[in-house]
């Protein structure tokens, strides 16, 4: 058979993290992502990990926040993420001198 979906998980000392959930297009909206998450939850629970976190963008075009809500996860923190675009020219030359 071929792989139709995958969930990347990370185990920390006292919690688990869902890094990403991917499902091939023909299999989307058929419960594959939900099954992957439920499998991860069971695996964490068997190892004594009772807290699982996941990060997603509220404006995600994939609807990840809806999926996480459907499997019983709830929003507990909002984070601001900052970025800097380094431009060619003077700004890049200044950074190279550091």
Q: Which two tokens stand for residue 50?
A: 């009772």
pLDDT score recorded for residue 93: 66
Q: How far apart are CA 52 and CA 11, in angstroms?
A: 9
Of residues 95 and 43, more confidence is placed in 43
Whether the per-residue pLDDT at 71 is higher than 70: the answer is: yes
Instruction: Render pLDDT for 25-58 as a digit per residue (tens, 0 to 9).
Output: 999 999 999 999 999 999 999 999 999 999 887 7
Assign 66 to helix, strand or coil: helix
For domain 5-96, which CATH number applies: 3.40.50.300, 3.40.1010.20, 3.30.110.40, 3.40.630.30?
3.40.630.30
Mean pLDDT value across residues 51-72? 86
Whether the per-residue pLDDT at 87 is higher than 80: the answer is: no
How many percent of the chain have pLDDT more than 90? 57
Q: Domain ranges for the chain, please list them.
A: 5-96
């Amino acid at each position: 058979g071929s792989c139709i979906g995958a969930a990347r998980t990370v185990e920390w000392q006292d919690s688990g993290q869902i890094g990403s959930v991917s499902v091939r297009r023909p299999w989307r909206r058929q419960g594959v992502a939900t099954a992957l998450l439920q499998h991860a939850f069971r695996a964490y629970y068997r190892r004594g990990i009772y807290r699982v976190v996941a990060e997603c963008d509220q404006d995600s075009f994939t609807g990840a926040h809806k999926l996480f809500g459907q499997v019983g996860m709830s929003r507990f923190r909002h984070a601001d993420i900052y970025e800097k675009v380094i431009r060619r020219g003077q700004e890049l030359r200044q950074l190279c001198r550091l």
